[in-house]
Amino acid sequence: MDFLTIIQVLDSTIRLATPLLLACLAGLFSERAGIFDIGLEGKMLAAAFFSAAFAATTGSAWLGLFAGVCASMMLSGLHGLASITFRGNQLISGVAINFLASGMTVLIAQSWFRQGGRTPSLTGDARFTSIELPFADTLQDVPFLGPIYSELLSGHSVLVYLAFLAVPASYWLLYSTRFGLRLRAVGENPAAVDTAGISVIGMRFAAVAICGILCGIAGAYLSTSLQAGFVKEMTAGRGFIALAALIFAKWRPWYAMMSCLLFGFLQAVSLRYQNIQIGDFTIPVQLMDALPYILTVVILAGFVGKAIPPRAGGEPYVKER
Amino acid sequence: MDVMPKWADVILIPLISLLLAAIISALVILAIGEDPIAAVKMMVAGSLGSTYGWGYTLYYATNFMFTGLAVSVAFHARLFNIGGEGQATLGGLGVAIVVLYIPWPHWSLALVFATLAAAAFGAAWAAVPAYLQAKRGSHIVITTIMFNFIAAAFLNYVLVNLMRPKGSMDPASAKFPKDMRLPTLHEILEPIGISFSRAAPANISFLVAIAACFLVWFLIWRTRLGFAIRAYGHSETGALYAGISPVRITMIAMIISGALAGMMAINNVMGEAERLVLNAAEGAGFIGIAVALMGRNHPFGVFLAAILFGFLYQGGAELALWTKIPRDLITVIQALVILFTGALDNMVRMPLERIFLWMRRRAS
């Protein structure tokens, strides 16, 4: 494996980690506020479809992104209605949202485009094009650092940079602002927040809305940047890998980035190589596919550090009367 | 004191939820430019209008009965087993191993041991998340989701690398021996003079599923263990004071749940496909969630809800065949049922409770 191959694998790691990272941060905001969200997958899927559909009809990737975020926000609103307003079971609501997105996207795609549940292929401005960082061309020939800069860091779509900028932004928002403090408090001890005169319901809806926006961007990235158009079930379990990454990161933004890069790397490797040969031993590709899930179970089991979720997670808040 | 009489809780709320789901589904069908009434007529004709249709409806219903019972047993202990899909996948592996590698003298003996193997494999796959929940406090919903993915990858590996016959490109096991075929409803009903479609896949597993409904009812409401499971689900601290061990109940409830989900494989793997293929469970594990919610966690409710979903499945397949409505409509209906009977339960319940309160005040 030479240097250029490594660069290429890492390059595809960044591309594949981006949707995971956005969805993972989305889940982070929601779960930090005490709302479990296993509907990340469905929200991404809905956003992926509506982004591709609007981008295909209007010819603008940005309008597509906007439509995708709106679709994801609507599902977020539904999740909020079920789990905050009506104090329903958050996990069951998430399951319902996943199925709703999975069925509705194909139904709408079929009656809109009549192409067997997919959108037309996106070309030109309907896709997010890659951005060349300054001096990428001139620095290309510098040994070692040149390829890292011009191949690995430069030449991604704007959403990739947005996703990685969202990490420090989330960190700042959660740990350095009043809003962040309240949001985290709502997930740990909502009664205390309520006593301080702050609306628990309002805070939780705000968190769920942020979750919807980030999931929307993740979905839009999948269909208008990583790939050119929507196909049935195109999220392919990414929402659940993001959930796994979130637990792996123990609900912290910077660690979320690291775990998403790790899981993105696993995906990149299993895409590039089928079976990996180490000496006489072959690692089957199926093991690589299952590795994020196995790692999550190991982490959850507490054998490698303990993952403790926000204390009020999954519990609807009932004011005492 | 309960605000509502029991019948309202058991019958009225599920029916209203179902009605809401049906109305929204009808609007969806209208929105994609088809006629909902014609669609319902076609679904009824295709799934209940002939013994062929009934054969498919009951075949699907058998799957959903097993997975619905699985989810409901876990629900009684307030555990959400979302891993029915993975447990059913592993159950299929158990069936395939027993039927392919042991020469059985008769299908009935094979069925008994295939059922046991399916239950054992499904139970084992559920036991790990159960242990992690009970002993290490890892959230069972997350671990069972992860185990679904791990099961899919594992089965993929086993089929491609170990069980695939030489020279075959298809990631599937060899065909089961011919004399291991399970009798279909046609063969069961013929001696008593009822003619049933020869081509439909409904088979003797349907009767096993009904037996499972009875056994689960007996277990949950007529045994000491069932009482312990319900007590634990009702109040963990209360159960603890009564000397019920949370670890033991969590393990037992999940093992029973996994075994039921695994047993689904005698229907779809042994009864229908007669070989093990990738993704054999086809989402039945998840439909079990809708079935359990709809059936209010009671075996009889699960039985009815499973037949309802069997009807939706077969009817949806007919729609996809004859109209422009894709099969994914069923996924939407399934989502709406889960949403209304599960997550938005209070939305239906709160106004209804208010109506009952008002009626009671007027009466007194």
Inter-chain contact A107–B326, Cβ cutoff 8 Å?
Answer: yes
A158 touches chain B (CB under 8 A): no
Q: What is the pLDDT of residue B1?
A: 47
User: What are B224-255's pLDDT values in tens digits?
Assistant: 999 999 999 988 888 899 889 999 999 999 99
Inter-chain contact B32–A38, Cβ cutoff 8 Å?
Answer: no
Q: Is B199 exposed, middle or buried (0-12, 13-18, 19+ CB in 10 A)?
A: exposed
Name residues of chain B where pLDDT drops below 70. Answer: 1-2
Name residues of chain A where pLDDT drops below 50. Answer: none
**Using CB atoms, which residue from A38, A107, A297 is nearest to B32?**
A107
Q: How far is CA B288 from CA B61, B91, B292, B299, in A?
A: 10, 15, 6, 12
Q: Which of B29, B138, B162, B236 to mutate to test the interface with A (most CBs of A within 10 A)?
A: B138
Residue B360 lies in a domain: no
Q: What is the pLDDT of residue A274?
A: 67
Residue B317 lies in a domain: no
Torsion of CA A87, A92, A94, A99, to 10 degrees: -140
Residue B66 lies in a domain: yes
Q: What is the pLDDT of residue A19?
A: 94
Q: Give residue A171's identity as a one-letter amino acid code.
A: Y
Residue B331 lies in a domain: no
Q: ipTM of this predicted complex?
A: 0.88
d(CA A307, CA B136): 11
Quickly list DSSP for B300-346. HHHHHHHHHHHHHHHHHHHHHHHSS--TTHHHHHHHHHHIIIIITHH
d(CA B164, CA A301): 34
Q: DSSP secondary-structure letter at B169?
A: -
Residue B278 lies in a domain: yes
Residue B121 lies in a domain: yes
Per-domain residue ranges of chain A:
3-129+139-236
Q: Which of A118, A286, A291, A311 to mutate to test the interface with B (most CBs of B within 10 A)?
A: A286
d(CA B21, CA B15): 10
Q: What is the pLDDT of residue A305?
A: 64
User: What are B97-106's pLDDT values in tens digits?
Assistant: 999 998 888 8
Range of the domain at B246: 59-312
Kindly report the backbone phi and psi dihedral angles of residue B282, in degrees, each rounded to the nearest multiple of 5, phi listed first: 50, 40
Q: Is A183 exposed, middle or buried (0-12, 13-18, 19+ CB in 10 A)?
A: buried
Residue B260 lies in a domain: yes
CA B58-A102-B282 angle, to 5 degrees, is: 35
Residue B191 lies in a domain: yes
d(CA B75, CA B141): 12
Tell me the CATH number at B121.
1.10.3470
